[in-house]
């Protein structure tokens, strides 16, 4: 696994520190990767708020750019509590307000994802730590970054968890995810 640059002072801690964290599986994901495409996996905790927004926004931007054939895009959570669920209604609502449709079902990241995807993009540092722990169990090829490494606003490194907040938090998250996804796409296009 190739980690993106970590800001000074960051440490990699035990991902099980969060009470409701489940064990991250290392089972085989059966989907095959298409080597002609650039594959991007967005990762958050539950895979019902932030990473579905990132997946939907990135898909939307890729479609607008006429590049749908060049990308494989997905999202996953480090936790398993919401597996099989549609995105949180507040995430779908804010996306819809901006003309973006969310069409994901929550799933949990596996170590195979770290071999299958070219880029694994974490929403926050806790996700990043969990991804690194998962890499220790097997997957090694993905380039791993924090999404907000691509945000040029300069007002933070993480996409905050909006789950326990109100609708305004989802709007803030939408805006920072949109900015970051646009810059990520611009970089990948130029690569
Ligand atoms: P997400 O938000 O990681 O952006 O999908 C969350 C969703 C669910 C929970 C926490 C965060 N939860 O504790 O169930």
Here the tokens at position 81 are 């509590």
Atom of ligand 1 at shortest range from CA of 52 = 5
Instruction: Give, to the nearest 10 degrees, the angle between helix 167-190 and helix 89-97.
Output: 60
36 with 30: CB under 8 angstroms?
no
Q: How far apart are CA 108 and CA 81, in angstroms?
A: 9
- For the question of residue 50 being annotated catalytic, the response is yes
Atom of ligand 1 at shortest range from CA of 48 = 5
- For the question of residue 181 being annotated catalytic, the response is no
- Tell me the CATH number for domain 34-138+156-177: 3.40.50.2300
Distance 69 CA to ligand 1 centre (A): 30
Catalytic annotation, pick one of 29, 107, 161, 181 = 161
Q: To 5 degrees, how large is the angle CA 145–CA 107–CA 181?
A: 35
Q: What is the mean pLDDT of residues 160-168?
A: 95
33 with 72: CB under 8 angstroms?
yes
Q: To 5 degrees, how large is the angle CA 107–CA 30–CA 111?
A: 60
20 with 101: CB under 8 angstroms?
no
pLDDT digits (tens, 9 = 90+) for 85-109: 999 999 999 999 999 999 999 999 9
The residues spanned by each domain of the chain are 34-138+156-177
Q: How far apart are CA 12 and CA 18, in angstroms?
A: 14
pLDDT at position 34 is 65
Distance 121 CA to ligand 1 centre (A): 16
46 with 163: CB under 8 angstroms?
yes
Atom of ligand 1 at shortest range from CA of 44 = 3
Q: Locate tokens 């694994």: which residue? A: 120
Total-model pTM: 0.85
Distance 7 CA to ligand 1 centre (A): 24
pLDDT-based confidence at residue 2 (cuts at 50, 70, 90): low
Q: Which helix (H) or strand (E) holds 142?
A: none
pLDDT at position 159 is 98
- For the question of residue 161 being annotated catalytic, the response is yes
Q: What is the mean pLDDT of residues 49-64?
A: 98
pLDDT at position 114 is 96
Q: Which residues line ligand 1 (CB under 6 A)?
A: 20, 44-50, 77, 81, 161, 163
């Amino acid at each position: 696994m190739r980690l993106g640059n970590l800001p000074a002072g960051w440490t990699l801690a035990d991902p099980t520190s969060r009470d409701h964290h489940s064990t991250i599986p290392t089972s085989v994901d059966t989907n095959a990767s298409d080597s002609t495409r650039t594959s991007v996996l967005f990762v958050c905790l539950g895979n019902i708020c932030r990473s579905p927004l990132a997946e939907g926004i990135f898909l939307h931007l890729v479609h607008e750019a006429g590049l749908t054939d060049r990308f494989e895009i997905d999202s996953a959570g480090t936790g398993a509590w919401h597996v099989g669920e549609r995105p949180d209604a507040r995430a779908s609502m804010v996306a819809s307000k901006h003309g973006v449709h969310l069409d994901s079902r929550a799933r949990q990241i596996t170590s195979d994802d770290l071999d299958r995807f070219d880029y694994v993009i974490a929403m926050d540092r806790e996700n990043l730590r969990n991804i690194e722990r998962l890499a220790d169990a097997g997957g090694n090829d993905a380039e791993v970054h924090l999404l907000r490494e691509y945000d040029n606003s300069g007002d933070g490194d993480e996409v905050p968890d909006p789950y326990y907040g109100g609708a305004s938090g989802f709007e803030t998250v939408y805006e920072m995810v949109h900015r970051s996804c646009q810059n990520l796409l611009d970089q990948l296009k130029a690569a």
